[in-house]
Structures are given as C-alpha cells and as structure tokens.
Amino acid sequence: MTRWPEGVGGLCYGGDYNPEQWPRDVWLQDVRLMREAGVNLVTVGVFSWAWLEPEDGRFEFDWLDDVLDLLHGHGIRVDLATATAAPPPWFSRRHPESLPVDFQGRTLWPGSRQTFCPSSAAYRAGAVRLAESLAKRYAGHPALAMWHAHNEYGCHNGHCFCDASAEAFRAWLRRRYGDLDALNQAWGTAFWSQRYGDWDEVDPPRPAPTFVNPTKQLDWWRFSSNELLECFRAEREALARHTPSIPITTNLMAARFKTLDYWSWAPELDLIANDHYLIGEDPDGHIDLALAGDLCRSLAGGQPWLLMEHSTSAVNWQPRNLAKLPGQMRRNSLAHVARGADGVLFFQWRQSRAGSEKFHSAMVPHAGTRTKVWREVVSLGGELRRIAEVKGSRVDAEVALLWDWEAWWAVELDSHPSADLSYLELVRDHHAALWRRGVTADLAHPSADLERYRLVLAPSLYLVSDAAAANLRGFVEAGGSLLVQFFSGIVDQHDQVRLGGYPGAFRELLGIRVEELFPLPAGGRVRLDDGSTGSLWSELVHADGAEVLARYADGPVAGGPAVTRNGSAWYVSTRLAPADLGRLLARVCDHAGVAPVCGSAPPPGVEAVRRRDPGQGGRASWLFAINHGDEPAALEASGLELLTGAEVAGRLALPAGAVAIVREDGA
Ligand code: GAL
C-alpha cells in the first residue's frame, strides 16, 4: 500500500539538493529560489557520506541540521537520503575487501561512486550504521517527509564477482535448492561434466573457456537482484526502528534497467519512485518515457508513484548530450503525470560546478535564472499547482503487456538461436504500437491477476513457469484475448526446454506446433502474404487447430504459417515491422473490445491518456493530451482545460508541442 511523503500538499515538485557542494550564502539563495519555483520536496544528502561521517564512527550532523532547519523554515519538505551510495575513500581504504570486482576479476577502485560489493559485510554494517544514525538524529524533525534509502541500487555495481559474493551465492543456492542433487538437476549439470559434488565447487559465473552453464547464469541474475534487495532491507529496518511513520523508498530505474527484478522489490517499498532520462537522440524518446511511466504505475499496483529524477535539459552520460528544446521538459514532466506520477522531481536542484556531472542540467543552471531552463522550472511549478486536483487519481488501462525480469534475463542468455534478440526492443515494439493507437497498457507479471484486462500481450516470453502458463490459459478461458510472440513458452524456470514442439507452454492454447526455429541473418527480412514484413526471426509453424491469418511469402519457411489465431489466442512468429504490428494490434484490440482513449487513434505524435478519480465512483476524469509532433492536431474532448482555464466543447486544438489537461464533462 502506497504511503506518500508526509505533509506534502498537492503534487510533489523539486529535486536532488546537494548543498555540500556550495557555500552557505548559496543555501540562502537556494531556498528563496525554491519558493519562487514552488518546490515543496527536495532529496537531501544522496552523496553526503563523506560529509556526515568524515572518519570511521565520527559523525558530523551540524551542517545537515542547518540545511533541514533552513528548508523547514521555508516550508520545504525533505526526502532524506541515507547517503550510502558512495562510500568515502577512508571507508574503502579501511575495508579493501569491500571493493567490487567485475566479471574480468578486476577490482573497481574508489574515486567514483557505488564502490562496494553488495555482499560485503563491512559495507552493509557501515551503511546500516549511517542510516541508523541519521534516523536517530532526525526522527521527529519537522522537515522529514520520507526516507530515500541509498540511490539507484545496482546502477554501477549490480554484479560483483569477488570471493565474498561467491560465498553469498553459495549460501543463496543452498537456501534455494536445499541440496546439491536438486541444484545439479535444475542446472542440467549432466551436460559437459559439470556435476557438483561439494558446495565449495560452485563459483559465480566467472570467465570460462566457453559458455557457462545457462541456469547458473540465470540464478546469478536472481541472486544479484536479491543481494541488493537485502542491502535495502537492512537500511529499511534500521530506519523503521526509529521513524515507523515515515515512508521509505529508493529510486528505481525502470524500464531500461535489467539487473534488478523490480517486481520483487516493489512490495518492499512504501512508494514507487523512479528515475527516467531521455535518450536524447531517440526520436521516440517520449514513447520510451511512457513505457517507464506505465511500468512504474504497474509496479505501484495502479497507485500513484513519484518521478524522483529526470532532467531539465541535457544529461552528461550519453555520447552526445542533447539539450532539451523549449517546451520539451514540460511535455516530459506532464507525460509522467499523465501516466500516474503524482510528483515531478529532477536531478538536480543546482548544476554542479565541479565533478563528473558539471555538464548535466539542473533546475538552476550555470547561467543562473535569466534562462530558458529557469523560466520553464518556475512555470512548471505553477502548472503543477493548477492541476493538483488530479492527485490520487488512477490511469485507465484495459490491456496488459507482460513484463518479466526473469524472462528478460533468460531470453538474452548466450548460445541462443540469435544474438540479435533484445527483450526490451520487443516489448517496446508492442508498447509503441499501442501508444500510437492511443491505447494505454499496464505492464504485468505473467503470474499476476489479469482479470481486469481484456487483452494481454506476451512479447517473446521465453521463460514461463507452470503457474504463469496456467494463469494465461485461465485468462483466455475466462474470455480474455492473448497475443503471443515468437520464442515464448520455450523453457521452465530452470531454463529447461518444454518438449514436444515449441512453444511448449502454449501449444494447445494457441493451436499450433513449432517444429524448428529459423532466425534470420543479420538485417534479413521476410515478406508475408498479407503485405507485412518481418525481421529477426521466423519459425516452421504447423497450425494445429488455429486459423492461419498470414503465411510467409518468402524466406526459409516460405508457405508456412506466420500469424495465427485460435479463438482469442493469437500467435506471431516473426518481428513485424512497426506499421504492420500496429495494424495487427488494431485488429486484435478491436476483437478484444479495447478502444483508444479518444474513441479513435490520435493524430501522429499525439499522446492521449485518461486519469480517473477512484473516489467518486470513477465519475471525475481528466484527459491528458500531449502533442509531441511538429504539426498542429486536434482531439475530441469536452470539459475544462486546467492549464489555460479554457472551456473545450467537442474539439480540443493541440498546436505542435502543446499540452492540455481537460477535466472532462459528464463522465
Ligand atoms: C542518476 C543518479 C543521479 C545522477 C543522474 C544523472 O542515475 O541517480 O545521481 O547521477 O543519474 O543523470
């Protein structure tokens, strides 16, 4: 159940505040400017360990007392970080065994951040001691609204291959399998003489002459995600001991981050908080943003979530860091709100003068306040106040797009039919097609309760447990529609193939049998007899009860079925070109009774999402319409446009780059 930062009225607005980088006179300017911008929540102390504990066991809180008092005096609430994401140099020197070791066996040295091994006992003890000291010190401080444990767990040190990690991996495997026979069975160690006779023989998947046992690799991903979750849990317990009523969260990196299984993390957080950065050169960056927003809302079980970080303009870590064009930051921010965020925060408040992130944009840029960025920051603060009534409302979605970190890890393991398969790309294909049609989707775990959806899409769900397969079968039997993409249902949770023809877990449901996989050469294309084009993949499919909707017109399986339908279970055996997938999904949506948000597909580049107030029997609703394109557009809508206060009667005009949020009439 989501817990919101204590005492923040309206939507949250603010960013990471790193006052230790600035002299005190700048702090006074900061709080004045924060008020001007309407900031009500800042994240303080994310990288302050060296300032809070300059020597082992010697804590210095006076400066932080002053910062918190100052913020409180100006009515700004604090998301207080535990500062554990960057152990200071003294710590690494004192505990050299806590340094992380990469896959190649190289030690990663201090002088950056996240220089620790997640399994290091010294690190965990140091982090808990710091978190606990902060909790004791600031329990009851009136500025404290929320705890921000660590920062982006696993961002740089998701997998550590040191000996302590090896020991922890063995302990985790013992708990998972109980005995070595079960492990040998699950890992299929009869292959290549890999049978283990003693737990001490089991190491992390370190470099080997050739492919390392795939189930071992898969378990390593599971272990690593859990190991960092243990770090979070340890901090959370320390914090909760002293401040049980203050919510605790950490910032996730959905949807691009592969390392952590956020489905297992989500129930442990009081609030889903996320960091999202546009890839500046991606022309569809706004669709990638929408995917992240949809995933966060889904991780939050449909409840509001918090955008903890994004950028006002350029970042510093891409090959070319493109500045945002006028209006783009506003569109990005409100697009997150459209998808369920009840707050918009940035990295960071004031642009750093020194360090690796000095060219990363911020709310207060190097050039000061006579700038596009500052004007947009102030204006956005005003707009968030104007639309505060959307707070707590939910987003309508009738479609679930399956998303599973375990399936992601497994499908991208080595020694597979094609190294070109990217799970994220395939999920994105489907999400983008829905986005363009104006259909909002939740993301869902394959074992989740799917009852409220009409349609479920399963992009290359390679690994599926028996329970998840039964869940999907039950969904279709209960009247739901399901679309499954190639290379799905292939293996069980141990990465062992389901025999008798692919897709083992879904053969009967789909009424097909795949005899052999025919991935395409790099850049290869196949034509289908309905005019569609496929890439990446093809399969020798036999219809076994299913109707054949399209056949391969050329390529290695010419004449064979490419797209099939068995009642309301659809199968697609290639990667359709975006327009072709769009057409197919439009047909599938129509069949499933899923309509676009505005009745028909919005004009190109226009995003349309509806939020609805669950409190009034769902009667109050808001239509968010964002024109990301260069052409003026219009949508059907009626009501009060909140940003301008204009009445909209039937037709909502959306100039290029515009955003409208309409409180709808008569719902
Ligand atoms: C995030 C991180 C921030 C900052 C930001 C830059 O990954 O949490 O501290 O580094 O990226 O984009």
Q: pLDDT tens-digit profile of 295-308? A: 999 999 999 999 99
Residue, of 396 and 394, whose pLDDT is higher: 394
Beta strand extents in 577-658 (DSSP E only): 606-612, 621-627, 633-641, 647-654
* Distance from the alpha carbon of residue 288 to the mean position of ligand 1, in angstroms: 18
- Ligand 1 contact via 274 beta carbon (within 6 Å): no
Residue 657 has a pLDDT of 98
Contact 9, 384 (CB under 8 A): no
For the CA of 251, the closest atom of ligand 1 is: 8
| Calpha distance 136→467 (Å, rounded) | 44
CA nearest ligand 1 atom 4, residue: 347
Quick one: average pLDDT of 143-168? Answer: 98
Is 636 designated active site?
no
The dihedral formed by the CA atoms of 70, 16, 266 and 428, expressed in degrees to the nearest 10: 150
Q: Which of 53, 152, 539, 607 is catalytic?
A: 152
* Distance from the alpha carbon of residue 347 to the mean position of ligand 1, in angstroms: 6
- Ligand 1 contact via 45 beta carbon (within 6 Å): no
* Distance from the alpha carbon of residue 372 to the mean position of ligand 1, in angstroms: 22
| Calpha distance 20→27 (Å, rounded) | 9
- Ligand 1 contact via 277 beta carbon (within 6 Å): yes
Contact 455, 434 (CB under 8 A): no
Q: State the average pLDDT for the chain.
A: 98
* Distance from the alpha carbon of residue 661 to the mean position of ligand 1, in angstroms: 29
Top mutation candidate among 256, 275, 276 for ligand 1, by most atoms within 8 Å of CB = 275
CA nearest ligand 1 atom 7, residue: 152
Q: pLDDT tens-digit profile of 251-301? A: 999 999 999 999 999 999 999 999 999 999 999 999 999 999 999 999 999
Q: Which of 53, 132, 235, 309 is catalytic?
A: 309
CA atoms within 13 A on the CB side of 151: 24
- Ligand 1 contact via 151 beta carbon (within 6 Å): yes
Confidence of residue 615 (pLDDT cuts 50, 70, 90): confident
Residue 667 has a pLDDT of 52
Sheet holding 248-249, edge to edge: 248-249, 144-148, 77-81, 41-44, 12-17, 341-346, 305-309, 273-275, 251-252
Share of the chain above pLDDT 90, in %: 98
Estimate the share of the chain in helix, then strand, then coil, as percent rounded to the nearest 5: 35, 20, 45
Is 309 designated active site?
yes
For the CA of 315, the closest atom of ligand 1 is: 12
Q: pLDDT tens-digit profile of 532-542? A: 999 999 999 99
* Max Cα–Cα distance, the chain, nearest Å: 76
Residues 6+ positions from 242 with CB-CB distance below 8 Å: 132, 135, 136, 139
- Ligand 1 contact via 377 beta carbon (within 6 Å): no
Q: pLDDT tens-digit profile of 435-476? A: 999 999 999 999 999 999 999 999 999 999 999 999 999 999
Residue 614 has a pLDDT of 85
* Distance from the alpha carbon of residue 406 to the mean position of ligand 1, in angstroms: 25
* Distance from the alpha carbon of residue 137 to the mean position of ligand 1, in angstroms: 27
Top mutation candidate among 310, 357, 361 for ligand 1, by most atoms within 8 Å of CB = 357
Closest CA to 412 of 465, 459, 349: 459
Closest CA to 162 of 128, 198, 219, 203: 203
**CA dist 462 to 104, 315, 497, 509, 520, Å?**
28, 34, 10, 16, 18
Give the least confident one: 265-274, 353-362, 614-623: 614-623
Closest CA to 578 of 568, 566, 586, 569: 586
Residue 499 has a pLDDT of 98
Quick one: average pLDDT of 37-47? Answer: 98
Residue 1 has a pLDDT of 77
Quick one: average pLDDT of 177-192? Answer: 98
**Residue 616: pLDDT over 80:** no
Q: 173-195 burial string, b = 16+ CB within 10 Å, else e?
A: beeebeebeebbebbbbeeeeee
Closest CA to 72 of 35, 109, 113, 108: 35
For the CA of 46, the closest atom of ligand 1 is: 9
* Distance from the alpha carbon of residue 252 to the mean position of ligand 1, in angstroms: 11
Contact 625, 662 (CB under 8 A): yes
**Residue 623: pLDDT over 80:** yes
Quick one: average pLDDT of 12-34? Answer: 98
